Structure 1
Amino acid sequence: MSFDFALIATSLPKILQGLGLTLNLLVVSTLLGLLLAVGILLMRLSQHAWLVWPAKAYIYFFRGTPLLVQLFIIYYGLPQFGLLRHSFLWPLLREPYWCSVIALALNTAAYVSEILRGGVLGVDKGLIEAGKALGLTKFQRASRITTPLAVRLALPAYSNEIVSMLKSTALASTVTLMEMTGVARTIVADTFAPYEIFIAATIIYLVLVWFIQTAFTLIEGYANRHVRKG
């Protein structure tokens, strides 16, 4: 099998036309998912069962079902309900962009909440007790001890989730969005050369992943700047 390297080269700028939408989906859904994840985390850490169990059910559902299925349920399934079509949500649910953002945000929130919970549980209990001994309030202990340490512990896993989210944005092409994978599929339909086109798309995704991993490496280095090796 021979590859048309010229076609790969000429396809790169065409696929990059969908880069803006890919990054838009990544940033918006990640921010919304993070906000939702914090709320789910607080419910998960609550002492009240009526808060804990809904959070567990949410996490179980969105971690236990494929993201593609979740996207199809939102995009194809929810419009079947007349109540939704006549509600204030319909302007969002009829748009493939917002359906994709909602699906991505709901999915990542389940994963990120567990990542953050792992960070919180990883904080040394002795530090919390030391804060109590110093007379710090519960809010002060959370803001000055638990949160900074939990975030630092969660960063490596969270960076992996961001990379996973980047790759998940490709699913938006299944609901007609022309992000990078959607553009690549359009080019394939015109050229009948799937190998070259998707190799070009792969190169772009690999470069984006490298930038994300490098950025998080720098962030982790800054967060751990006070740690000294023996």
Structure 2
Amino acid sequence: MNPFDIMIEYWPRLLDGTLMTLKLTFMGAFIAALFSPGLALIRANTSPIAQAPLRLYISFMRGTPILGQLFLIYYGSGQFRPFLQDWGLWGFFRDPFNCALLAFALNSTAYQTEILRGGIMGVARGEIEAAKAIGMTRLQILRRVTFPHAYRIAWPALGNEIILLMKASALASVVTVFDIMGRTRQIFSRTFDFSIYLWAALIYLCITAIFVLLWRQGETRLSRHIGPRNTGRSILSPPEGPKP
């Protein structure tokens, strides 16, 4: 069969898989983005003893394969079915999409937390002191100084994390969540034509290219106050006077 004929015949299934991939990826990244700022502050500002449980969680999520984490949540939750039923959670864990989303959100939270911690640690101490000197409260410093700078520093790494999460979403097909790769396998089992995998790869490539373009636009907006000639200057630094 002609490769274009396969695409024409099966494009509704590939479109359905694409929408599932986007849903799984961006919902997981969004949930992680809600929790990672607070966890990053704990990692950056508390004592090693206080952050020990968080460090253990991050080490586990970063040190084990996401496929293993997915299996632990999806298949492992069945071992605790009586307890989950008592707590009213079995309806959540019996759905493979919910399990996949939880696995990706937990994994991405660990990575985003460490990326943001690096961004927070990269904020110049002088900027924090300058904000205190002009009377900003701690919350205002976080909102106007720390996090804007931290996200500007961490923005490229956060984009890479989301791209990696999108590619890892192909693993969701092993628990019957039919994303792009899941639909591709279904189509291949009917046609035995390897060209369908090429189409799947092109879809991933197009999604990634569009995402990178949009993410760079976001990076430009975050850095719009930094001119090409004063990149290293702080937004709290006084304007330069006339040179003699």
Give me the TM-score of the superposition, normalised by structure 2. 0.87
Alignment of 1:1-230 (within 5 A): 4-7=2-5, 9-10=7-8, 11-81=10-80, 82-193=82-193, 195-230=194-229
Greater than 4 Å deviation, 4+ residue runs:
none
Question: CA–CA distance in 2 between the matches of 1:38 and 1:141?
Answer: 14
Give me the TM-score of the superposition, normalised by structure 1. 0.92
Question: CA–CA distance in 1 between the matches of 2:192 and 2:22?
Answer: 27
CA gap 1:204/1:100 in 2 versus in 1, 3 angstroms? same
Offset at 1:15? 1.3
Q: Is the 8 A contact 1:108 1:161 kept in 2?
A: yes
Q: Is the 8 A contact 1:71 1:99 kept in 2?
A: yes
Backbone CA RMSD of aligned residues: 1.7
Question: CA–CA distance in 1 between the matches of 2:11 and 2:45?
Answer: 49
5+ residue gaps in structure 1? none
Q: Percent identity?
A: 39
Give the count of matched residue pairs.
227
Larger radius of gyration: 2
Offset at 1:8? 5.4
Offset at 1:67? 0.3
Question: CA–CA distance in 1 between the matches of 2:79 and 2:102?
Answer: 17
Q: Is the 8 A contact 1:12 1:200 kept in 2?
A: no
Bigger proportion of residues as helix: 1
Offset at 1:169? 1.4
Q: Is the 8 A contact 1:84 1:90 kept in 2?
A: yes
Offset at 1:48? 4.2
State which drifts further: 112-121 or 86-95.
86-95
Question: CA–CA distance in 2 between the matches of 1:132 and 1:164?
Answer: 38
Question: CA–CA distance in 1 between the matches of 2:41 and 2:225?
Answer: 29
SS of the residue aligned with 2:50? Answer: helix
SS of the residue aligned with 2:88? Answer: coil
Q: Is the 8 A contact 1:41 1:114 kept in 2?
A: yes
Question: CA–CA distance in 2 between the matches of 1:16 and 1:5?
Answer: 16
Offset at 1:157? 0.4
Q: Is the 8 A contact 1:12 1:201 kept in 2?
A: no
